[in-house]
Amino acid sequence: MNLLKEVLSQEVYPALGCTEPIACAFASATAAAHLGKPVEQLLLRVDPGTYKNGATVVVPHSGGATGNLIAAALGAVLGRPDARLELLRDVTPAMCVTAAALCRDGKARCECIEDAADFRVEAEVAGGEHRARCILAGGHTNVVLLERDGSALIEEQTAASGSESGSLPYRAFLRAVTLHELLATVPDADEADRRYIEQGIDMNLAMAQCGEEMSGTAGQLRRMHERGYLAADLFYRTKLLVASAVDARMAGVDRPVMTSGGSGNQGIVAILTPYQIGIELGVERGRIVESIAVAHLVNAYVKCFLGELSVICGCAMAAGIAAAVAIVHQQAGNDAEKTTLAVNNVVGDLGGLICDGAKPGCAMKTITAVDTAIRSGLMALEGFGLNVDDGMVGNTAEDTIRNLSQVTLEGMFSVDPAVLRILQQKNPHNHGPGK
C-alpha cells in the first residue's frame, strides 16, 4: 500500500467552504440526486464535531448565511454531488431562495447525534411520496449508506470501506507504523504527487491573498506590526500568511483551499507554514514540496489517534505537529530524534487546546499553532525538546501522541457536550435535540 497516495487521495483535496457544512451539502445532494423528485423536506443529523464546526461559519454562495442546515438545504436543492466538496460553486441565486424557504418554513431540520463518537452525517430527503437517505462516515465524502425508499442503491455508490463504520483501510496501516517508518516513504513520491502538492500550495496562497485586506485577525497582526509591537520576522510573516487565508475562508470567500486531514484550516496550516519557512530559510523548492508531503502524512497519522473531529483543536495539535515535523524535515531529513523533539514540544505547549467550532476566531488559534510549530521545529533542530518527565510527553513521538489521545478521549469527554449546549443556547432555531 502506498500510504502517501492513499492520504493524498482520501484526505487532501480541494474544498469550497468549511468542510463540515460542505460535507452536509454533499450528503444531501447525494440523497437528492437519487430521489427523483424536488426536495420538499430535509432532515440532517450530524455528530457533535460536525455540529459545532458548522454552527457559525459562513457558507459560500448562500448570501452570507451560516450553518450546516443552510448548507444541506443548498445541497438538497442543487442535487448534484459530482463536484464533491466544491459542489456549492454551482448554486444559483434562485436555489438560494428555495433553500432559505425550506429552512424558514420548518421543512428542513438539523439534529445533533450526541452519542456519535466520530464523524457522521446523515441526510434524509423527501419529495412526492419518495424518500432517499445518504450517510457519510470516516471521511467527508465517504458514503457508507445510500438508499431510496428503503432499498440500498449499491449500484450507484458503495461504501469505500465496505462497512457502515466508514473506517478506511489505510488508517490501520498508519496506526501500525512509527513516524520514522512513515516518513521513510516520502522520497517515493512521484511526479504526479509533487504536482498535486504544488497545486495545494498555489490554491492556499491564492486564498491568503484574498484575505490580505480583510479586517480580521491578519489585519490586526498587520496593525500591531505597523505600531511597532511585532517585528517583521519569519514568525510574523508566516502567521500573517496563514491568518489571511483562514480569515478569507471563514468569511466564505468563493475560492477553494486544499485540505489536509479533510480540513481546510488544517490544510492552510500544514501547507503554508512549511512553505513560508522554507522560503524564508532558502530551502530548495523540491525539498519544500517534500516537506509538505511529510506534513500531510503526519497530520493524517496524528488524526488516526485523536479522531476525525476531535474535542481538541486539530489545527493546533494535528496540523501544528505536522508543520513542526515538516520544518525539521527540510533541514534534517528523516531524523527520528529531532522529529520526536518537535512532536514533544508542540504537545507540551498546546496539548488540550479545545475546539469550539469553526468560525472567524479560528484564525486566532491558527496563529498560535503556527507560532508553536515554528518554534518547536527550530528548537528541535538545535537539539532542544521536552523530555519524558514533562507531563504528557512520552519516551517516543508515538508515545507522546498516544498520551495526548488518552487525555483527549478519556479525560475530556465532557467538553463537547458543554460546547454544544452553549452553541444550542445561542442558536436554538432549527435544531432538534437529537438522539
Q: Partners of 112 in the beta sheet? A: 46
List pLDDT tens digits, range 171-203. Answer: 999 999 999 999 999 998 999 999 999 999 999
**204 located within any domain:** yes
Mean of the per-residue pLDDT values of the chain: 92
430 domain residue, yes or no? no
Domain boundary, last residue among 146, 168, 190:
168
**All residues at 6 or more sequence positions from 411 whose CB lies less than 8 Å from its CB, including other chains:** none
Indicate if the pLDDT at residue 145 is higher than 50: yes
Question: Cα–Cα distance between 291 and 183 in angstroms, integer?
Answer: 10
Residue 308 pLDDT class (50, 70, 90 cuts) = confident
153 falls in which pLDDT band (50, 70, 90)?
confident
Same-domain pairing of 287 and 208:
yes
SS3 224: helix
- Same domain? 155 vs 190: no
Structure confidence at residue 159 (pLDDT): 42
Domain identity same for 31 and 85:
yes
Inter-helix orientation angle 318-332/285-306, to 10°: 150
Q: Are residues 144 and 193 in the same domain?
A: no
**C-alpha–C-alpha distance, residues 49 and 357, integer Å:** 8
| CATH (domain of 44) | 3.30.1330
Tally of domains within the chain: 2
Q: With respect to residue 150, please indicate whether it lies within any of the assigned structural domains.
A: yes
Grid coordinates belonging to 434: 437529537
Spatial contact of 17 and 88, defined as CB atoms under 8 Å apart: yes
pLDDT top residue among 430 and 239? 239
CA distances from 20 to 17, 107, 124 (A): 9, 21, 17
Q: What is the mean pLDDT of residues 112-116?
A: 88
Q: Please indicate, yes or no, if residue 5 is contained in any of the structural domains.
A: no
Answer whether residue 100 shows pLDDT above 90: yes
Q: If pLDDT is split at 50, 70 and 90, which confidence band does 156 have?
A: very low
- Asked whether residue 11 is assigned to any structural domain, the reply reads no
In a domain, 424, yes or no: no
Last residue of a domain, one of 105, 140, 168: 168
Q: Which residues contact 299 (CB under 8 A, 6 or more apart)?
A: 11, 260, 261, 266, 270, 318, 319, 321, 322
Contact, 138 vs 167, CB < 8 A? yes
Residue 421 counted as domain residue? no
Cα separation, 32 vs 78, in Å, equals 8
pLDDT at 423: 86
In percent, how much of the chain has pLDDT > 70? 95
Q: Are residues 208 and 70 part of one domain?
A: no
Whether residue 433 is predicted with pLDDT greater than 60 in this model: the reply is no
Residues 20 and 101 reside in one and the same domain? yes
User: If residue 132 lies in a helix (H) or strand (E), which one and from where to where?
Assistant: strand 130-137
Which range of residues forms the domain containing residue 55?
16-168
* pLDDT(158) > 50: no
| Helix segments in 66-216, DSSP class H | 68-78, 93-104, 169-176, 179-183, 191-211
User: Same domain for 228 and 248?
Assistant: yes
Q: Which of 295, 297, 300 is nearest to 324 (CA)?
A: 295
Looking at the structure, tell me whether residues 163 and 213 fall in a common domain: no
100 or 156: whose pLDDT is higher?
100
Q: Can you give the pLDDT at residue 167?
A: 62
Q: pLDDT class for 163, splitting at 50, 70, 90?
A: very low
Task: Please tell me whether residues 184 and 311 are part of one structural domain.
Answer: yes
pTM greater than 0.85: yes
**H or E element that contains 258:** strand 256-258
Decide if 320 is inside a domain. yes
163 and 268 share a domain?
Answer: no
For residue 310, which amino acid is it?
S
Same domain assignment for residues 288 and 149: no
189 shares its domain with 248: yes
Given 147, 168, 189, the domain boundary residue is 168
Taking CA atoms, 276 is separated from 43, 204, 221, 236, in Å, by 43, 12, 17, 11
Closest by CA position to 419, among listed 350, 361, 357, 366 = 357
